[in-house]
Structure 1
Amino acid sequence: MRIVSYNTAGGPRADSETVLTEIGNEMVGGIAKPIDVLVLQEQTTIAATTAAFKELLNAAYADDPAAVYAQGVLQGGSSGAGRPGVVYNSVTVELIDEVAFGVVNGSAQARQTLRYQFRPVGYGPEADFYVYSNHYKSGQSDTARREVEATALRADADALGEGAAIIYTGDFNIYTSSEPMWATLTGSGAGQAYDPINRVGTWHDNYGFRDVHTQSPVTTARFSGQVTAGMDDRFDFQLVSGELLDGEGVSYIPGTYHAFGNNGTHPFNGELDFMTNTALPTATLTAIANSSDHLPVVADYQVPAVLGVTADTIPGKVIVGADVRWDVTVENAAEVVVAHGADELDYTIETLAGDLVTSISDVDSALGGGNLHSLAIDTATPGSHGGAIEIASTSHAVANNHVAQYAFTNVVDHANPSFDATDDLDIATIDFGVVALGSSTLNRPAALHALESLLGDTAALDLDVIVASGDTVALSTTLTTFAGLAAGEQIDFDAVLDSATPGAFATDLQLEFSDEDLPGEASGVTLMLQLLARVAIGGDADTDGLVSGTDYLAWAGHWGQSAGAWNDGEFNGDGVIDGLDYLVWAENYGTSEQSLLAVTVPEPASAALLAAVLVPLGLRFRRRRGASA
């Protein structure tokens, strides 16, 4: 916050806007910002001069939504030479209260003291600070009256109690720190005042204090009533209570206190805008000299920290062993233009509930982007895991001093595929047995199961890859890859046999599974499925590839049996070994698998040619038989 104390000598005047806007433009310690609190002395009336300063600032910052000025409404009593007033930026500070006190008469105070209670916008009462505006009786012979004012001021300030943040501003009209009123202001007690630049001594006409002098910027009057005599007095001050010197909460920023336009390069006892002055551009120095017979006293104060917390979400469901991190960013969210414009944020992070274990202490400066804390979530076992945390700050007057956040995830066990619904079966065989050559395509039902974990919820199952090898033309399945088979569910499929070709067949299927697509998913679980079948010529009971007398004997030895098997002579699949099975044997007697596999079906043209050759041969054979007869 930029706070200014300014005896305006009854202004504003033509150059006053330049003075105030240049105060806002001046870069001090990396800070340049519009005035936040303008404490005024020698105001004719609140309704006239103070309101005029308010309107002047609002006009100057008409295009800046961050600068909207308001004014105090309490007008203190005065016996002459104006009275205190205040204008403030309502976007950055709130005026909470105004109090006027002090007896005004010819032997006591010349003017009442005004006490303003302010609060930075966005903060709580802990951030309140008090600004006193005083215009002490002038004159070297009026030390007693200034002491009366100082005594009344300290009584009021001490009543605020220990810990009050106080700024004592105004035109003190004092020549030396040995004066009783200075001792009263700086004496011990709750409201003890300190000079933030510790430049105490005899200021009047003292070259050693030329850089802190505030009166007068001219040797020749530039407006009626302007006090002259050149720069030789430190009349204007901002003193502070000790609470504003500890660097905590609202606090004075070292190195920012100065008399605006004075860096000690002007002529001693001369005019402020003399060409040797390097403090500001000459035009600004001239505006200061033209506007009042006092220099504004400017100081910057840090605001308290603001606790800002951003907590990322975590997946609502993960798999055992997943690396789950809950990213929580804690930042000092104070709205300032430089980092040292706000108090540092001291904070802790502690667990409130759940199995998330954390205990963190850290610090963040404003504008630093915050500190990222990556909190590990326990995923070692299935179940609900995570926790609630509290981020709390112990920084003085911090805004939003504690925040609670929570994050939980459901940890599930790995998926478990099986060929059995109740047992963990990773290897299975489907054997068609012996099947007659030329039977219709045969199907055998089968299923894959996603087993449920005994430890808790279970991830869904994905079948990612099917690798088939062996006799894949004869033996195959209808199984395809899939995703998301819930635990406790199954996928049905068929094993398929094509019996068009005789022989012993085997197909091996390697099934590669993974968990559903969740953090912590695992792959590489493999199940093996083997398909077997023997396609035999009808009547080949011993499946040796030749229909022979041996097969007849097998049939004959089991004649009349029911529920017989192929090897017993049950060839037609009706379950009874009888004459129908004999007919199958008889029809194929002498046939071998080798001969069937060697047969090549001729092309139509070749078949015609073959028939043309065979017909004469057949005729010749018949003639020979006839001849023999």
Structure 2
Amino acid sequence: MQEQPSLLTRICIASLLLLPLAIVPDALGQLRISSYNIAHFNGDQDAFRHVLEALHSDDIIGFSQPCDIMIFQEVREENIVDLQANIDAAAPRGIVYTMATFTSGGGEDFAGGGQAYFYRSDRIAEIPTSHLDISTGANRDTDRWLFRMLAYSSTDAYFFIYSSHLKAGTGSSNEADRNDGVNLVRNNADALPAGSNIIYVGDMNFYSNNEDGYQAFIAAGGQGQAIDPYGTGSWGGSSNAIKHTQSPRDVSGGGLIGGGCDDRFDFHMPNIKMFDGNGLSMIDGSCRAVGNDGVHYDDAINDGTNTYLSNTAESNALADALFQASDHLPVLVEYQVPAVMTAFAPSDFGRVIVGAEHFVDVYVKNIAEHVDPIGVDELEFTATGQDGITGSLSSTAPLDPDFVIVQLPVDTSASALVNGTVQLQATSEATQNSEWSLSVAGEVLDHAVPSFSGKREITMLESVISIEPGDLGLFKIPIHNFQYDMLQAELDVISIEGLAGFFYSAAPLPTGIDDSPGTLQIGFDSDGLPDGEYSITVDVNVSDEPLPGAGQGQLQLDLVVNVGSAGCPFDLDSSGVVDGADLALFLGQWNQDGSADFSGNGVVDGEDLAMLLGAWGSGC
């Protein structure tokens, strides 16, 4: 039967798993990414800060967390200082944002403006040598950045972000410019190292899903194929109002465009690899235009009551801020992060006996930090035993504080000192600590070998004593664990079957017999008995020490008591006296088992000779 760990063992192990492990770095929590066209910072800065604060606190998908990445379009060089100041002012307490590589050279600063990227440097790091400007026409560049997640060592936790502000305007010429720009971006993305994580954000200025530029983004073929989280159908009309991002204003003024919220210009699209649910991946259903409640089609976002947030007053205040801050709505998206594996197994599985069904319990859990469980990839892994630990099992580990127990068999086919290993290999993409090795030791013991002799295995024995009438007789029978060594179980005597009449157990049964024999003591009470020979056959039941795989055995013992003149065991020739004739018979049995084994140790030896000489010349 498979053994289960005791409650105390489970509590201790669970406590150990709750302790922080020095070799496990703080895991990176799930990612929140925003993208926002700030219209050259022509809006009200107090309103802008209000919007930034709302990006951090937005909880309409069930949870909130500070933004990890904030990307802005239409940013001029002169806006950077004020932009950083507003980001810092709106940041949750203790959180600092760093600006990534920023470029707005050539005519870009005086046309559409550049792309600015701010990130939490305690969680994410830029690889600045991979920054690239891709000219997409009309004095506009798409910026490409490469980032890595600090708590993960796998390159599958690196990701590229392309931020674009494509040519605005209707008509075939503007559409062609946008299409040319997208093809340049796609060509660059398709040429990245195989398996790259890619995100496209920005103000794309697509008027419909039929535009060639949009179709170029989502075209199959190449790793750069974009996945539109809203699907590839039409986004036009009031039935799709929830997707629209321009304009939150119904009137133009102060450098901000009006016209009402009826266009979807602002996009956030990952490539296939970042939308497959594995490792670093967009959380399906998390993409939203912040402040858009879906009922302000072709209208100002703050006209009447806004119901984007559950708190109407807060929602109306946010709508007012969006109206004043820019002529676009920000797009907010959540990403799950890869798993982080930790594992534990008892370093010593103890002592078991050959043939036992015994297992090593391996405890595994996913300790990735998260705001909500949906923000962490599941942890799939395989555990494989080596060097005395056998088998290979696959499982899925839950998030901390829960854990899964995987049981791997111990090889108990032969006795051995086991110094085994459990190798864990995570199969979930980009898992931190994806390889884990646990050392497990223990002992596999041979069964005990019960014997009446320490020199050879003897399982049947006759023992004879002589006493005077009325005396108490005592058999002292040595019980050996034959050829005992460190890889053999100890021996326990567990019962004596067949004792009856005047025979009785005279002492506790011996247990823990190793290389020193135990003594089985059986008494005989002759009170009131006439002279004569009294005998009984008993079974001595023995077992291995109480370990997994323990077996049982049996020894047979014939007990003979001569009371009074019934005879003497030392008078081997029954002449009535112990003399030279008895000595000759004794020596003929030397180093063998026979009637001259007075001590009952299974062999005729010096101990028996001493007993014979002690009775010399007597009639016993």
Give the TM-score taking structure 1 as reference length: 0.70
1:1-80 matched pairs, under 5 angstroms: 1-9=31-39, 10=41, 13-27=45-59, 30-45=62-77, 48-56=81-89, 58=91, 60-62=92-94, 68-77=95-104, 78-80=108-110
The answer to whether the aligner puts 1:417 opposite 2:454 as a matched pair is no
Write the distance in 1 (CA, Å) between the matches of 2:617 and 2:430: 98
One-letter amino acid of the counterpart of residue 130, structure 1: F
Change (3 A) 1:21 1:119: same
Larger radius of gyration: 1
Write the distance in 2 (CA, Å) between the matches of 1:560 and 1:300: 102
- 109-118 or 1-10: bigger deviation: 109-118
The residue aligned with 2:517 is 490
Offset of residue 387 of structure 1: 5.8
Q: 1:292 aligns with which of 311, 321, 326?
A: 326
The residue aligned with 1:129 is 159
Change (3 A) 1:436 1:340: closer
Contact 2:273 2:281 in 1 (8 A): yes
Secondary structure, aligned partner of 1:315? strand
Deviations 1:148-194 (A, max 9, x none): 64454334323314432211111223434555544554455443334
The answer to whether the aligner puts 1:217 opposite 2:274 as a matched pair is no
The residue aligned with 1:623 is none
Write the distance in 2 (CA, Å) between the matches of 1:558 and 1:411: 55
The answer to whether the aligner puts 1:399 opposite 2:432 as a matched pair is yes
Number of aligned residues = 535
| Higher RCO by CA contacts (8 Å cutoff, separation 6 or greater) | 2
Offset of residue 129 of structure 1: 1.3
Change (3 A) 1:196 1:574: closer
Unpaired runs of 5+ in structure 1? 63-67, 544-556, 566-572, 582-629
- 280-289 or 179-188: bigger deviation: 179-188
Write the distance in 2 (CA, Å) between the matches of 1:202 and 1:519: 68
Write the distance in 1 (CA, Å) between the matches of 2:409 and 2:556: 34
Offset of residue 32 of structure 1: 3.8
Change (3 A) 1:444 1:241: closer
One-letter amino acid of the counterpart of residue 34, structure 1: P
One-letter amino acid of the counterpart of residue 518, structure 2: I
Write the distance in 1 (CA, Å) between the matches of 2:576 and 2:434: 94
Change (3 A) 1:28 1:251: farther
Contact 2:415 2:443 in 1 (8 A): yes
Q: What fraction of aligned residue pairs are identical, expressed as a percent?
A: 28
Offset of residue 420 of structure 1: 1.5
The residue aligned with 1:173 is 205
Deviations 1:345-367 (A, max 9, x none): 454455555572x3545556767
The answer to whether the aligner puts 1:234 opposite 2:234 as a matched pair is no
Change (3 A) 1:253 1:12: farther
The residue aligned with 1:318 is 352
Write the distance in 2 (CA, Å) between the matches of 1:74 and 1:298: 22
Offset of residue 256 of structure 1: 1.9
Write the distance in 2 (CA, Å) between the matches of 1:525 and 1:25: 76
Change (3 A) 1:471 1:346: closer
Contact 2:451 2:555 in 1 (8 A): no
Offset of residue 412 of structure 1: 1.6
Deviations 1:433-473 (A, max 9, x none): 254889xx99876522111379x93201234457865446x
Change (3 A) 1:98 1:394: same
One-letter amino acid of the counterpart of residue 88, structure 2: E
Write the distance in 1 (CA, Å) between the matches of 2:338 and 2:432: 7
Secondary structure, aligned partner of 2:549? coil
Deviations 1:361-420 (A, max 9, x none): 555676795554333334344345796554434444343334444645432222233221
Write the distance in 2 (CA, Å) between the matches of 1:116 and 1:559: 108
Secondary structure, aligned partner of 2:409? strand
Unpaired runs of 5+ in structure 2? 1-30, 310-314, 568-574, 584-613
Write the distance in 1 (CA, Å) between the matches of 2:196 and 2:579: 112
Contact 2:142 2:163 in 1 (8 A): no
Change (3 A) 1:175 1:481: same
The residue aligned with 1:328 is 362
Offset of residue 6 of structure 1: 1.3
The residue aligned with 1:153 is 185
Offset of residue 258 of structure 1: 1.7
One-letter amino acid of the counterpart of residue 521, structure 1: A
Secondary structure, aligned partner of 2:45? coil
Contact 1:430 1:495 in 2 (8 A): no
One-letter amino acid of the counterpart of residue 334, structure 2: D
- 424-433 or 235-244: bigger deviation: 424-433
Write the distance in 2 (CA, Å) between the matches of 1:260 and 1:37: 15
Q: 2:561 aligns with which of 521, 532, 547?
A: 532
